[in-house]
Structure 1
């Protein structure tokens, strides 16, 4: 059944809970800071974050682990074109992030990769406090899900809602169907405002008893050994000639293979200057309109963690 043919709650459950559903895309892209890309190559793994602590959408909070479990996740955009909001929301206000890419065959391999658990200092991007602990197959559950974007159809009167997925298909659904989808909470849903992400997510559920410190900060490491040589790395449009700037600052990217770095299709065409705009009211901003040199150094240190 095609997405546009879905009408009932059961239709949507059957469609999105099919374990093969997330394998349907041609490419999977992970947008992030270059410091994080460097750390991914250093650790040879994606870090999956605790969804309950990292979620920025109220709807997806219903999609969570059971009472005795913790849900960790890593996100991928499946749109084939570069995504300007993703560059800035996930790779930093300076607009100089990276996009790691996987083909479908490698995404399927990644879904079966080795999993480890580790405690970090203060946040998911900070250094590990201990060596990662490999988890046995009976100590976690790994799944992959496509996101269903859903919300009220404000353009029409009455109790109509919209459901969107991947392309530009709009399903009009009744309020009863909408309420059923949201109340059951089986599907990974987000509000329509996030539709530009076209997101697929790998998730790992871990029993809470595996987390030795109840108040500790933990991440799950998803091993990249079987796909790392086939990853692609593209840098954001604000890099005109990125190679020297990137490999000079990020040794693990350099060691991975600098010649594989791709320029954006829009290199040199965009200069958002978000750092300056966002810091209009920063107390340490100097007269030239830029953050102080000390703040700049601090930001660089934080990103490299």
Structure 2
């Protein structure tokens, strides 16, 4: 079966003076899927979005959105996409309803059609009760939902979300996640850049890890996690047991353990599918390392990113 790509870039290059923001970035996002583009600050995520949405011309390489070249067919690309950037684009002095009607008229919707479309989106994003209040009175989450609604007025084939939930509280973030899932379910292709790896794990069909302007690794969340194996972690009863526990995990996994003296934990990555939790516990007991908790779990995407991009040892999973 032939795959049709809604977003396809090859060897994208972009410089800003001495800063080489994109260094041959390749992306391939299938129609009707959610692609999470992950990377640290400065990795090139936002520059990639600006190039793909025709806001910045590339210095090299090529890109096509919904079959249209971003340089030669910029107008057709803009007609096919919606964009929600890192900061809200709505007018704070206008009400939510006025903002959406204004954007609808700019998209050449006629009066009644513009009003109907605006009202549909206000209801869809749970903004009807606040529709006639100035947008400046909205919470951060409400403004982001209004911004997302504005980007959907034209029913885009491809939606670009550039760190859409940065700074939002968990409730507002969950509302944005629900909206993205609904869009994907209706066939919209979504390219999502984010620093929240949990967000990509929740939403993305495929993930691209961007490092220094390149696509360092790609695959589904499950595929990327499988590349680095599992994570064994034990909590010892006393600080004196950290050394013996680390020696056990070192021997069993063949990787250097990570010690957290404050939490009294020792953790290590293992790619051995035969290693089991009971075996780990038996070996710890034989070594005289008193343990109060032990786990063998899949890695988090944080750990995947750190190991696959060579940015250090795995980090510990923290409570949400």
Regarding TM over 0.5, the answer is no
Q: Whose radius of gyration is greater, 1 or 2?
A: 2
User: TM-score scaled by structure 2?
Assistant: 0.21
User: TM-score scaled by structure 1?
Assistant: 0.22
The structure whose RCO (Cα within 8 Å, separation 6+) is larger is 1
